[in-house]
Amino acid sequence: MIEIEEDDDNNGLQVTIPDDLDGMRLDKALAVLCPDHSRTRLKALIEDGQVTAGVKKLRDASTPVKAGLVLQVVVPQAVEATPQPENIPLDIVYEDSDLLVINKQAGLVVHPGAGNPTGTLVNALLYHCGDTLSGIGGVMRPGIVHRLDMETTGLMVVAKNDIAHRGLSDQLADRTLHRLYMAIVWRIPAHKGVVDMPIGRHPSFRQKMAVNVRGGREARTHYNVERSFGEAASLVTCKLESGRTHQIRVHMTAIRHPLVGDPLYGLQHNAQESLLRKGGLSPEEAEIVLNFPRQALHARHIGFIHPVTGEEMGFDAAPPADIEELLSVMETIT
């Protein structure tokens, strides 16, 4: 049995080498036992003296480990750099002194993180809003109330001060801030339904999320089929009761209707080709669908109560040109 315990005192982990890793290199064994960290990162920690067995520091990544060995792995907290303002164009749907609603473009990461230190929505907001941007979300997420995946387009509300941030965050928590998404999915689900499955980190593929995994959090998605394209695909509207990472993508995949274009959870390529061929698409039309470069997901509506004025507010955004083109091709399916 693999034993892993969090050690809050030193920002690290205590791991016990299981029988099936007996004799394995230290860095490889830790990569198996600590999947949230890359082998390169773990090797650097070893060489820096952050991995110990009792009082002994293990500095050689190639050291073979024995079953039952207890290791302490100290992971120093990362020091976050303060995001800098960047002049990145924003499609602003509404703005006042307390908040703004934006229509996010595809390819824009919401906040800085590993691999995306710059060029994010936060950098753009810092440039646009200056010193007024709320800091409640933390230094890396100022003003951010909720997020969209990098390649998902559509509406987001951003707080410009602390009062607005608290009010909007409370509405997100009690579900009075509501969002509607449009998605193009493979095949045709039941006309309407609710997917009620907890979502958590995939146990084997850390870049993915999964349903019904240990430590998963409650997640519920309502969906309704708006239009079907032969037997190949459907346009659905999704409403969230929660806001888990990749929620719509994971839930629709869980009921066997993954999103068109989804690089993580999508349908196998040969199955896509088969559905499109049966639908009567020409090779040129099929290529447009098969090569769609992102998940076909757009946040088309957002509604909330203004946290300062108390006014009910609602905004809609038409799908971007790439999804419009995809829909026009889908319309020709028989």
Check if the beta carbon of residue 101 is closer than 8 Å to that of residue 92: yes
Amino acid at 212: N
Check if the beta carbon of residue 217 is closer than 8 Å to that of residue 277: no
Catalytic residue list contains 19: no
pTM (predicted TM-score): 0.76
Long-range contacts of 206-209 (CB under 8 A, 24+ apart): 206/35, 206/36, 207/264, 208/246, 208/264, 208/265, 209/244, 209/245, 209/246, 209/250
Quote the pLDDT of residue 7: 45
Amino acid at 330: M
* Catalytic position from the list 48, 149, 170, 196: 149
Quote the pLDDT of residue 323: 98
Per-residue pLDDT for the chain (334 aa), expressed as one digit of tens each?
A: 344 444 444 456 889 999 889 999 998 889 888 877 777 778 888 988 899 999 899 999 999 999 999 999 987 765 556 889 999 999 999 999 999 999 999 999 998 876 678 899 999 999 999 877 877 777 778 899 999 999 999 999 999 998 999 999 999 989 899 999 999 999 999 999 999 999 999 988 878 999 999 889 999 999 999 999 999 999 999 999 988 999 999 999 999 999 999 999 999 999 999 999 999 999 999 999 999 999 999 999 999 999 999 999 999 999 999 999 999 999 999 8
Quote the pLDDT of residue 280: 95
* Phi-psi category of residue 98: left, alpha or beta, with phi > 0 → left and psi -120 to 50 → alpha: alpha
Quote the pLDDT of residue 154: 98
Would you give the DSSP letter of residue 188? Answer: -
Quote the pLDDT of residue 319: 98
